[in-house]
Amino acid sequence: MARHLLHLKTRSMKRSILMIALVFLAGATFAQFTVGPKLGFTMSKLKTNFEDVKEEARAGFQFGAFARIGKKIYVQPELIFVTKGGIIKADDATALETKVKLSTMQIPALVGFHLLNLKVVNLRVMGGPALSFVTDKEIKINNVSGSIGEKNIKDAIWSFQLGAGLDVLMFTLDVRYEWGLNNIYHPQGGTTYDMKSNLWNVSLGWKIL
């Protein structure tokens, strides 16, 4: 069963990456096409319905590639490696602290609008869905009786991103907020816990085309 699920997950990732590659190639036929690498910083938090806990953010990073296709209105597919997660602290005498770090391969599909589109400076807004495939899970608990394990975290994270960007010459700066859409907590033993991944990200890209 585990091998079958891994096979399905791998096939899904390959199909998604192939679709992104086709969009990148198709963009070459548009009047305005940009592609390049990007890297950035993230601050993520896990929003839960756990009782008597405090949720804290943890820092992470991202890097990958983007394409931007269009003029006034544009589409921006990306393929990004992103670390996300959060810190959950028990607000009681147990002092239980759970640190969750998720390594993901993320595929945002954004639609944007140029508020200002000049030769030297561009000002943009954008938004759209993103799908993250969890490639690695690192969960550290300072108490063996913790209720969260790797099996409790699902392998796919759906989210929605909204943000703004500024381009100066060949450099492109984006600031976005990402809302988690699906419950990423996989219940064990009939529990009804809810967990969503939210984050801020700031990225700097380089337009090589």
Beta bridge partners of residue 24, listed in sequence order: none
Each residue's pLDDT expressed in tens, for the chain with a length of 209 residues? 545 545 555 566 666 656 655 555 554 444 588 999 999 999 999 998 887 788 999 999 999 999 999 989 999 999 999 999 999 888 776 678 888 999 999 999 999 999 998 889 999 999 999 999 999 998 888 755 455 677 888 999 999 999 999 999 999 999 999 999 999 987 766 667 889 999 999 999 999 98
* Whole-number Å distance between alpha carbons of 194 and 184: 7
Phi, psi of 170 (to 5 degrees): -95, 0
* Whole-number Å distance between alpha carbons of 37 and 130: 18
**Structural domains of the chain in order of their starting residue, each with its CATH number:** 2-206 (2.40.160)
Phi, psi of 148 (to 5 degrees): -115, 130
Tokens representing residue 172 in the block: 């492109």
Closest CA to 160 of 102, 124, 115, 110: 110
What 3-state DSSP class applies to 26?
helix
Phi, psi of 180 (to 5 degrees): -70, 135
Q: Global pTM? A: 0.81
* Whole-number Å distance between alpha carbons of 82 and 133: 10
Conformation bin of residue 128: beta by default, left when phi > 0, alpha when psi is -120 to 50 = left
Beta bridge partners of residue 202, listed in sequence order: 41, 175
